[in-house]
Structure 1
Amino acid sequence: MESTRLDRWLWSVRLTKTRADAAAACRGGHVRVNDKPAKPATPVRVGDTVRARVHDTTRIVEVARVIEKRVGAPEAVRCYIDNTPVVTPETTIPVARRDRGAGRPTKRDRRLLDQLKMFGGP
């Protein structure tokens, strides 16, 4: 077997939970093969680079082996080479979040948010 459908391969190597999720990601424009937008039926071959946005994370993988059936996790990891850049905690920006239903921020909350955004910190 030298090629298979993209949605089937994404599901087989466990990058997506279901094949329907893989197809939806392809239709939504979240998957690219060799830097070209990909449809669910796009053929995937050994050596192709797949860039997929999965769970708010962009995964960049190179196809090492083509499979059509879902296999165990240890076997699935051997079917691709993960080239996703490592995100260090220093590069992530903290996001200010408030609990739903907490109401408007108080003056103290606003000052803390300003410090967090580095606009008017002491």
Structure 2
Amino acid sequence: MRVDKYLWTVRYYKTRSIATEACKKGHVKINGTNLKPSKDVYVGEKLLVRKNQINYELEILDIPKSRVGAKLVDLYRKDTTPKEQFEALELLKYSKDYYRKKGVGRPTKKDRRDIDEYITDDSEE
């Protein structure tokens, strides 16, 4: 089965065209090498899929005949993604979550001074 079709059938991508684009951009790898969307995958191979800033590590257990339901996905792949990947994503969310709300606009002069003061206070310690 083609790698783009496999990723679509096991529900890593919503559409097959999105899976194809991910392959073309180099977000899907086997043994560290980029794949074309038409590359065939076989049972026992390990895929590395970069999606939403997480590197998912998958082992192919079986090849489905068609797109499977969400409850049946675990029959066809084994997710061996380390928990550190998900923890790093959580830290990234918290690092972006600072005191200004989204859509408020550019920082004022006072905001800029407060930010500079905060940064210089941390570097002096």
TM-score normalised by the chain length of structure 1: 0.79
**1:72 maps to what in 2?**
69
Please, which moves more after superposition, 82-91 or 60-69?
A: 82-91
Distance 1:79-1:33 versus aligned 2 partners, 3 A rule: same
Structure 1 unaligned spans of 5+: none
Deviation at 1:110, TM superposition (A): 5.1
Total equivalences in the alignment: 117
- Aligned residues: percent identity? 28
Deviation sequence 1:76-115 (CA, Å, 0-9, x none): 1221110111133697241256523512344346535774
The 1-side partners of 2:109 and 2:23 are apart by 43
How big is the alpha-carbon RMSD for the aligned residues of Structure 1 and Structure 2?
2.7
The 1-side partners of 2:104 and 2:11 are apart by 37
Q: Tell me, what secondary structure is at the counterpart of 1:32?
A: strand
**1:92 maps to what in 2?**
91
Structure 2 unaligned spans of 5+: none
TM-score normalised by the chain length of structure 2: 0.77
The 2-side partners of 1:67 and 1:39 are apart by 20
Please, which moves more after superposition, 40-49 or 66-75?
A: 66-75
* 1:30-49 map, 5 Å: 30-49=27-46
The 2-side partners of 1:67 and 1:7 are apart by 13
The 1-side partners of 2:14 and 2:65 are apart by 15
Deviation at 1:68, TM superposition (A): 3.7
Structure showing the higher strand proportion among its residues: 1
- Would the aligned equivalents of 2:53 and 2:89 in 1 still touch at CA under 8 Å? no
The 2-side partners of 1:56 and 1:79 are apart by 23
Task: Return the match for 1:9 from 6, 22, 37.
Answer: 6
- Would the aligned equivalents of 1:64 and 1:78 in 2 still touch at CA under 8 Å? yes
Deviation sequence 1:18-46 (CA, Å, 0-9, x none): 11010000001111012211010111001
- Would the aligned equivalents of 2:43 and 2:63 in 1 still touch at CA under 8 Å? yes
Q: Tell me, what secondary structure is at the counterpart of 1:120?
A: helix
